[in-house]
Structure 1
Amino acid sequence: MTLLITWPDTGPETELRRTSDPTEIQAALAPVGVRFERWPVRDDVPADAEAGEVLAAYRDNVERLTAQESFTTVDVVSLHPADDPDWPVRAAAAREKFLREHTHDDDDEVRFFVSGSGVFYLHVNGEVHAVLCEKGDLLGVPRGTAHWFDMGIRPSFTAIRFFHEEEGWIGTFTGSPIAARFPDFDTISTIGTEPAVCP
């Protein structure tokens, strides 16, 4: 279930918004320059499909977006639980890299979820928008926007990534501890669409 929750950046004690409606999510994020789209999903693409198969399956939308935004590089990133004794260590290291607030000085961060899920946290204009993205969701975070990403303690997702710069992902970390104040992926992925009611 795709979900948007917005809080003041002082903490999650007060919810300003909670919605799972894609139209409402798009409308809420557009004023801060964040792109949100839903693409038709391909159920014939396995969660662990090879990059070439993924890109071929979504070729039309990939080519459309690449032409619109002049992206120079498109690739596929995939992280799924494996029968590998090193997997927990690799998964924890991957999670830690993106879990600290950062910006991108020279590129947008654009991801389309082919399978699985993850939460993007956007820190903009005194608010934090947590966007739980799932299969079929595309999110574009504009360059310079403070954000972080959580894939949970057992990451499982495949995503298409779009870049303007050939160097790929380059983050500038803000040094802020803000990410620790907000619910993580594992908490957000288990809550419902209705806002909590305070007694």
Structure 2
Amino acid sequence: MSILYVYPVASPELPSKVLTHFEDIASTLAEQGIGFERLPAASPIVAGAGQDDVIGAYRQQIDKLMTRHGHVAADVISVDGHNPEQNSLVAGFLDEHRHDAHESRFFVAGRGLYSLRIGDFVYAVLCEKNDLIFVPAQTRRWFDVGENPRVVAIRLFSHSSGQVAKATGEQIASRFARMDD
């Protein structure tokens, strides 16, 4: 089940709002310019699958999303917790960063906690299979896959150089609950 936790930046220990109904999550995020939809992840895929396998399995849906949202680049986050290289990759997502491109993230297996800092609030979205989230360029964010990671997410960007995360240098992410807290 997808969950949205809304935290005041000044009070990271306790969310001011917790939403579990899809419509409530989508409308609350929409008020902040964030899109949230459900899209069936029809092809079975396992966490840890390679990028080529994931993109091949979801090529038709990727092409539709790229056309619909004007994306030009795609990559995959696929982590199963058994590969040290994967673990070091996702460690970089734990710090607040931004991207120069609009991003769509389609969760096709597992789950992850995608946190967005917008104004005086942090919107922490527990996303799982079938969730599709649209985040505007320059939105401050961090992503946590938990202590026992299992996630496959396809990331689509509005331009290829936008895939590169740019750290904000702020330590705000460390003040908020992690996925397994």
Query: Alpha carbon RMSD of aligned pairs, Å?
Result: 2.1
Alignment check: 8 A CA contact 1:11 1:181 kept? no
Alignment check: 8 A CA contact 1:102 1:146 kept? yes
- The structure 1 residue matched to 2:170, chosen from 176, 181, 184, is 176
Distance apart, 1:94 and its partner CA:
2.0
- Which stretch of the first structure deviates more once superposed, 141-150 or 54-63? 54-63
Deviations 1:107-164 (A, max 9, x none): 0232111101111111102001100111111112211111111111232211111122
Distance apart, 1:23 and its partner CA:
1.1
Q: Percent of aligned positions with the same letter in both sequences? A: 36
Q: Which residue of 2 aligns with 1:94?
A: 89
**Counterparts of 2:90 and 2:45 in 1: how far apart (Å)?**
25
Alignment check: 8 A CA contact 2:94 2:143 kept? yes
Structure 2: runs of 5 or more not aligned:
none
Distance 1:53 1:100, change over 3 A: closer
How is 1:4-23 mapped onto 2 (pairs within 5 angstroms)? 4-23=4-23
| Residue 134 (structure 2) pairs with residue 140 (structure 1) | yes
**Counterparts of 1:66 and 1:110 in 2: how far apart (Å)?**
9
Amino acid at match of 1:128: V
**Counterparts of 1:69 and 1:16 in 2: how far apart (Å)?**
32
Give the number of the structure whose alpha-carbon radius of gyration is greater: 1
Alignment check: 8 A CA contact 1:95 1:152 kept? no
**Counterparts of 1:170 and 1:52 in 2: how far apart (Å)?**
19
How is 1:112-191 mapped onto 2 (pairs within 5 angstroms)? 112-167=106-161, 169-187=163-181
Amino acid at match of 2:40: P
Give the TM-score, by structure 1 length. Answer: 0.81
Distance 1:54 1:96, change over 3 A: closer
2:31 match: secondary structure: helix
Distance 1:176 1:44, change over 3 A: closer
Alignment check: 8 A CA contact 1:124 1:145 kept? yes
**Counterparts of 1:173 and 1:123 in 2: how far apart (Å)?**
13
Distance apart, 1:48 and its partner CA:
4.8
**Where in structure 1 do 4 or more consecutive aligned residues deviate above 3 Å?**
43-61
| Residue 88 (structure 2) pairs with residue 73 (structure 1) | no
Alignment check: 8 A CA contact 1:109 1:143 kept? yes
**Counterparts of 2:51 and 2:15 in 1: how far apart (Å)?**
38
Amino acid at match of 1:151: V
**Counterparts of 2:117 and 2:30 in 1: how far apart (Å)?**
14
Distance apart, 1:51 and its partner CA:
4.1
Deviations 1:94-117 (A, max 9, x none): 23211111111x202321111011
